[in-house]
Homo-oligomer: A and B are copies of this chain.
Amino acid sequence: MPDTVTLSRKQRDQELRRQDFLSAAERLFARNGYHHTTMEDIAHEAQYGTGTIYLYFKTKDLLYEALLERKIAEYIAFMQKRVRHADGHLEKIRTLISAKLEFFERHREFFRIYLAEMTTADTSLRRCVNKRREKMYYEHQSFVTQTLSEAMRAGAIRKVDPNMLATTLTGVINPLLSEWIKERSKKSICELEQFIMDLLFNGLEKTK
């Protein structure tokens, strides 16, 4: 049996196990928060022994990092694929909104973690290991900015600061989604999308 195959099989198994742990951690973090979830909890949730988890993640912080990275990567991939397949500038912009709504509707457990992370949370957690995630975030942000810039250049929307617009577009969804997830809003996800699109394009001005 060739060595490469053996190795890659091993690697594939390793990767599978990593994913098991990450999924378990995602469930527990979302349910109980980072600090109220113990490594033992995660290991057992993933159906492994306490010590095993340390074969795949050197520390709890690193596991957390890996979890964020995985989900954010997944999110970005999902979003970009959708936008690329959308036809026309306006449609792409609409997709920037609807794809985010759709993704987090499906991963609402993760949304809690995501928000905490995007905004604040435990700073010290973030200090050391976040370079890679920051990079991912910026790449995504610049993808959104670019999409918007192109729409401006094409005359599909009027010209404003594209960076600020990207930030706004990304962020305006959070509070609505947050309310929706807490089930205080009875609207459908589709209505959320329409509300945002309407407001974004038409603004509040009366005389129109």
Contact = CB atoms under 8 A, between A and B. Distances in A.
Report copies per complex: 4
A23 to B, nearest CB: 18
Interface stretch (A5-13, A75-83, A170-178): A170-178
State the 10 A-B residue pairs at the shortest beta-carbon distance, nearest first: A171-B175, A203-B203, A33-B122, A115-B119, A112-B120, A157-B204, A116-B120, A115-B120, A202-B203, A35-B35
Nearest to A155: B206
Give the residue among A35, A120, A170 with the most B Cβ atoms within 10 A. A120
A110 B115 CA distance: 17
B176 A34 contact: no
A158 B206 CA distance: 5
Interface of A: 31-36, 93, 111-113, 115-116, 118-125, 155-158, 160-161, 163-165, 167-168, 170-172, 174-176, 178-179, 185, 187, 192, 195-196, 198-206, 208
Given A167-B175, A199-B203, 10 more contacts: A36-B122, A112-B120, A112-B121, A157-B204, A158-B208, A168-B172, A168-B176, A171-B171, A171-B172, A199-B200
A171 B179 CA distance: 11
